[in-house]
């Protein structure tokens, strides 16, 4: 794997630890991000979506200093869903009286109307806006802090504990799997289709066995460190500063401006 | 004639672009912001009874033995991993298993509902598959409906004394297909067609996602069988640990 590739492999989790928005108060970020999300899907407006996409880009890349290239790559993750979902919404089937484009398809017609085209564009932008609002949170907030917000929302302790443990175990298992894969590859385990299937499923079976064995071990380790049925996790206190509030106010102001302009035009 | 040809070429171009982009075929997570608030809430509410049942069953499991907490967490991490790993596929593009069938067979549908909701949340946060607003809809299709059907088929096959590996295949295959149908339905009622409404729309969503989802379901079935064979061969002890014994049937 080349150096460039290694850079591309960086995950959302990685950025959540290095973002300059990392020192923002987590509850505030959740409210900010959720506010954006709800506004976008509630307002259902092209302009609100556009403003949100740009503002969240500004926050994550401009203020949070996530590399632009990485941000754009992350925005491409839902591309497949957007394209296929968009196509299904845009293309209509039937007689198609007021279509702007159509092709015959067996006995019927596949066509696009102005409305369906607009709807598809609107939904796509709305989805991208929602994703960027959510990225603002996930690209700047480590999982531990997100879970602590859930704790404040009175999610049962058992679920929180499961979340903490699952988060940790995901990395342990994925590291183990990486080693399995390297070992298998070096022994030509992925040389052709049939072998790959066989190797992959053996890997998974083995991984399950390993994970169950590890689970037993980890419980003993936890108990040895005084675990008595509730996991207690350290939380950093981060205060809401005026600067953080200013960005929120700026976003709200922009949204209000868009609302006023839109209303005037109607 | 030339316009017809042009349209033909245009259509082919669109199809190939879609095919090109769909190289990373994940299980069908409805993405962030795709559903209107009405449906976000409705699917969430619909999932609640199942989640509460799951929560209570997990709580009981832990009361029986506190040690189950790490076991459950490992199961959750395993489901997360299996649904995010590339699987070898015929076309050279990379696809991913959903893990619903395997999860339901190994850990039971009640535990999978809670683990599933956590896994879906993590997928949204860590991998940007699915989302927070669509969490309810995705939970219903992937953590509840799919696993329940898989488990039902697996149990039914057990009663009918079907070959265990055939029943594993059927459970995983239909679990996948069912998830894909439910997701299409969720999208269809959110975006009904201008002509023909929800039913036509569902046909469209089913059709658009079919090229990636149908091969995926077959692949998922085959891989789940291979994984179960491997587990049965090497890890009967561990299977008993997670309450499954294939020797029984």
* pLDDT score of A255: 94
Asked if B179 and B112 count as a contact pair (C-beta separation under 8 A), the reply is no
- Does residue B27 have a pLDDT over 80? no
Q: Do A131 and B11 touch (CB under 8 A)?
A: no
Asked if A134 and A35 count as a contact pair (C-beta separation under 8 A), the reply is no
Both A203 and A245 in one domain: the answer is: no
User: Terminus-to-terminus CA distance in chain A, angstroms?
Assistant: 55
- ipTM field: 0.90
Which residues make Cβ contacts (< 8 Å) with residue B187, sequence separation at least 6?
Answer: A85, A88, B30, B34, B201, B202, B205
Nearest to B121 by CA among A89, A172, A149, A118: A149
Paired with B25 in beta bridges are: B95
In chain A, positions 192-231, which contact chain B (CB-CB < 8 Å)?
193, 196-198, 200-202, 204-209, 211-216, 218-219, 222, 229
Both A40 and A110 in one domain: the answer is: yes
Q: Does A40 touch chain B (CB under 8 A)?
A: yes
- Does residue A71 have a pLDDT over 90? yes
Both A194 and A257 in one domain: the answer is: no
Residue B14: φ, ψ to 5°: -60, -45
- Does residue B92 have a pLDDT over 60? no
* pLDDT score of A241: 92
- Does residue B244 have a pLDDT over 60? no
Q: Does B132 touch chain A (CB under 8 A)?
A: yes
Both A154 and A64 in one domain: the answer is: no
pLDDT category at B168 given cuts 50, 70, 90 is: very high
Both A16 and A111 in one domain: the answer is: yes
Which residues make Cβ contacts (< 8 Å) with residue A206, sequence separation at least 6?
Answer: A180, B230, B234
Scanning every residue of chain B, which has its alpha carbon at the shortest distance from the alpha carbon of A49?
B33
* Disruptive mutation site among B32, B196, B198, B206 for chain A (greatest number of A CBs within 10 Å): B32
Q: Taking all residues of chain B, what is their mean pLDDT, rounded to a whole number?
A: 84
Both A62 and A152 in one domain: the answer is: no
SS (H, E, C) B75-98: HHHHHHHHHHCEECCCCCCCEECC
Nearest to B164 by CA among B222, B225, B221: B225
As a whole number of angstroms, the distance between CA A233 and CA A220 comes to 18
* pLDDT score of A6: 41
How much is the average pLDDT of B164-190? 93
Chain A positions touching B222 (Cβ under 8 A) are 197
Q: Do A131 and B128 touch (CB under 8 A)?
A: yes
Global confidence as pTM: 0.88
More confident residue, B40 or A1: B40
Length of chain B: 249
- Does residue B74 have a pLDDT over 60? yes
- Does residue A73 have a pLDDT over 80? yes
Both A23 and A101 in one domain: the answer is: yes
Return the half-sphere exposure (C-beta side, CA atoms, 13 A cut-off) of residue B142: 28
- Does residue B14 have a pLDDT over 70? no
Runs of H (alpha helix) within chain A: 3-8, 12-18, 26-43, 46-57, 68-75, 79-90, 114-138, 143-152, 157-186, 193-224, 242-265
- Does residue B185 have a pLDDT over 90? yes
Asked if A149 and A27 count as a contact pair (C-beta separation under 8 A), the reply is yes
Three-state secondary-structure class, residue A104: strand
Q: Do B74 and A169 touch (CB under 8 A)?
A: yes
- Does residue B248 have a pLDDT over 80? no
Strands A91-94 vs A108-113: parallel, antiparallel or unpaired:
antiparallel
Both A193 and A72 in one domain: the answer is: no
How much is the average pLDDT of B185-195? 89
Domain of residue A53, residue span: 1-141+240-266
Domain count, chain A: 2
All structural domains of chain B, each given as residue ranges with its CATH number in brackets, are 30-239 (1.10.1760.20)
Both A131 and A15 in one domain: the answer is: yes
* pLDDT score of B242: 60
Both A136 and A148 in one domain: the answer is: no
Q: What percent of chain A has pLDDT over 90?
A: 58
Tell me the CA distances in angstroms from B85 to A6, A125, A143, B171, B233, one per residue in order.
18, 29, 21, 21, 23
- Does residue A3 have a pLDDT over 80? no
pLDDT category at B246 given cuts 50, 70, 90 is: very low
Task: Report the interhelical angle of B164-190 vs B197-234 (nearest 10°).
Answer: 150
Both A114 and A13 in one domain: the answer is: yes
Chain A positions touching B227 (Cβ under 8 A) are 201, 204-205, 208
Q: Does B229 touch chain A (CB under 8 A)?
A: yes
Q: Do A93 and B80 touch (CB under 8 A)?
A: no
CB-CB: which of B62, B70, B125 is closest to A215?
A: B70
Chain A positions touching B230 (Cβ under 8 A) are 201-202, 204-206
* pLDDT score of A5: 42
Q: What is the pLDDT of residues A85-136, one digit of tens each?
A: 888 888 888 877 777 777 777 778 888 888 889 999 999 999 999 999 999 9
Chain A positions touching B106 (Cβ under 8 A) are 208
pLDDT category at A145 given cuts 50, 70, 90 is: very high
* pLDDT score of A92: 84
Both A245 and A129 in one domain: the answer is: yes
* pLDDT score of B100: 83
- Does residue A77 have a pLDDT over 90? no
How much is the average pLDDT of B81-90? 76
CB-CB: which of A128, A173, A222 is closest to B78?
A: A173
């Amino acid at each position: 794997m080349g150096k460039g590739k290694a850079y591309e492999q960086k995950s959302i989790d990685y950025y959540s630890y290095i973002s300059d928005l990392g020192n923002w108060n987590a509850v505030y970020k959740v409210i900010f991000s959720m506010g954006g999300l709800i506004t976008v899907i509630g307002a259902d407006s092209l302009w609100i979506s556009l403003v949100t996409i740009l503002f969240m880009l500004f926050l994550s890349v401009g203020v949070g200093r996530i590399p632009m290239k990485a941000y754009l790559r992350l925005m491409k993750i839902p591309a497949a869903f957007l394209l296929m979902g968009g196509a299904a919404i845009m293309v209509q089937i039937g007689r198609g009286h007021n279509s702007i484009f159509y092709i015959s398809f067996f006995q019927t017609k596949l066509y696009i109307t102005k409305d369906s085209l607009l709807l598809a564009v609107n939904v796509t932008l709305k989805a991208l806006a929602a994703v960027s609002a959510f990225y603002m949170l996930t690209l700047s907030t480590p999982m531990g802090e997100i879970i602590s917000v859930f704790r404040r929302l009175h999610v049962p302790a058992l679920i929180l504990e499961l979340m903490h443990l699952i988060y940790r175990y995901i990395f342990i298992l994925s590291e183990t799997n990486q080693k399995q894969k390297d070992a298998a590859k070096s022994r030509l385990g992925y040389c052709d289709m049939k072998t790959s299937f066989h190797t992959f499923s053996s890997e998974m079976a083995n991984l399950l066995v390993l994970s169950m064995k590890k689970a037993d071990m980890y419980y003993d380790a936890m108990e040895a460190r005084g675990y008595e049925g509730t996991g207690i996790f350290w939380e950093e206190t981060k205060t809401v500063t005026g600067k953080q509030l200013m960005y929120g106010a700026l976003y709200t102001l922009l949204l209000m401006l868009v609302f006023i302009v839109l209303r005037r035009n109607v | 004639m030339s316009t017809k040809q042009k349209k033909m070429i245009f259509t082919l171009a669109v199809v190939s672009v879609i095919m090109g982009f769909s190289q990373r075929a994940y299980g069908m997570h409805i993405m962030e912001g795709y559903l209107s608030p009405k449906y976000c809430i409705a699917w969430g509410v619909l999932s609640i009874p199942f989640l509460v049942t799951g929560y209570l069953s997990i709580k009981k499991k832990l009361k029986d033995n506190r040690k189950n907490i790490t076991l459950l967490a490992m199961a959750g991490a395993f489901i997360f991993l299996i649904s995010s790993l590339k699987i070898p596929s015929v076309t050279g593009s990379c696809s991913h298993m959903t893990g619903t069938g395997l999860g339901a067979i190994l850990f039971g549908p009640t535990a999978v509902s809670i683990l599933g909701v956590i896994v879906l949340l993590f997928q949204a946060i860590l991998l940007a598959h699915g989302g927070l607003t669509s969490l309810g809809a995705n939970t219903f299709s992937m953590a509840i409906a799919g696993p329940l059907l898989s488990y039902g088929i697996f149990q039914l096959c057990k009663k009918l004394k079907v070959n265990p590996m055939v029943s594993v295949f059927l459970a995983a295959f239909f679990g996948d297909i069912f998830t894909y149908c439910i997701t299409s339905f969720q999208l269809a009622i959110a975006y009904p067609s201008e002509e023909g409404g929800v039913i036509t729309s569902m046909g469209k969503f089913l059709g658009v996602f079919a090229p990636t989802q149908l091969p995926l379901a077959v692949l998922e079935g085959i891989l789940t069988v291979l994984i179960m064979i491997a587990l049965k061969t090497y890890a009967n002890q561990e299977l008993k640990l997670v309450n499954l014994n294939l020797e029984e049937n």
